[in-house]
Amino acid sequence: MKLNLDFNDSILLHIVLSVLIVLVGVLLVKLSNRFFVSRQLADRDNLRSYRTWTVASRNLIGAVVFLLLLGIWVSELKSVAISLAAFAAALMISGKELVMCFLGAFMRMLTRPFQLGDLVEIGQYAGEVIDMDALTTTLVEVAPTRQFTGFTVQVPNSLLLTVAVRNHSQAGKYTLDTVRIPLAAQCDPDRIEAELLDIAQQACEPFLEAAGQSLRRYGDTRFLDLSQFAPRVMFEPVGTDRLDAIVRFPAPVGGRLPVAQQIIRRFYRQRMSDSKEAGADAAAEAATEADQREAAEDRARMARAGRPGTAGGPGAPDASGPPASSPAF
């Protein structure tokens, strides 16, 4: 007996094809990930490029799978266009965040505010970009001390529409960074500036030339003047008893923390050395003053002992001799 199941057969065929396409897509994603991971383990110097190829291949496979599924179901979607429109309206009302995530991913694709491997700040979240998809951007979290915490943060793409994105890697391998050093308000700014400039120059000397070339090249593409990339020192008063020195310096994007720590450690080490020298000079001066005061007291005692008419001095009568004889009458 032959059953008339044309419509059901069509739906069943579409379902089977859709499942096969999804399975093939998942298999291709796993194979591409395994391929690039094996290449990455063999070539550690190109981690960023392999990460980029991994994410790009996965997104490309996902886009192809989506287009194939759309082509399979487009005939059925035409028949339910009105219902689909109602569903889309309901989705816009109830799933606004989901729609905004897709819009954020679309804006990220058009404007490219960051790429894989960049150090970015998205609102209150900061870290290195390790993955991007249609819904989220994954970061390896970086603490305010510029050190990796070991945690990953999945930032919804909807934030890209509402908060500012700060990219520390936009200028290439090098960037400009600052470090703040608190000082007493009674310090000498000129002397502090000279010391900090010398220390920062020594810390940045190994890469200063390469950093200048990279920053100038980025400035030329953005119509910016980044020729003043050498270390600089500025001062900012904080209250009536504190003055902060702000040191601006070039550094590799991934090496900002070591350079900043080197500047801070050298400065405080030099300040401690100066304090010890000043203490030693003060102690020597105090000892000299004490010696001079003791010598003056010795001279004063000797002067009093040698004055005529004083007890025990020259010319004083000897009270221990025999008494003088009485005059004869």
Residue-wise pLDDT tens digits, 281-323: 666 676 677 777 777 777 777 777 766 554 444 544 554 455 4
Task: Report how many domains make up the chain.
Answer: 3
Is pLDDT at 141 greater than 50 in this prediction?
yes
Domain-located, residue 2? no
pTM of the model: 0.57
Domain-located, residue 141? yes
Same domain, 149 and 186: no
Residue-wise pLDDT tens digits, 91-104: 667 678 888 898 99
Instruction: Find the domain containing 179 and state its range.
Output: 174-278
Residue-wise pLDDT tens digits, 35-61: 877 776 677 666 667 777 877 888 888
Domain-located, residue 300? no
Among residues 131, 152, 169, which one ends one of the domains?
169
What is the CATH classification number for the domain harbouring 270?
Answer: 3.30.70.100
Domain-located, residue 54? yes
Domain-located, residue 183? yes
Same domain, 184 and 259: yes
Domain-located, residue 96? no
CA atoms within 13 A on the CB side of 221: 8
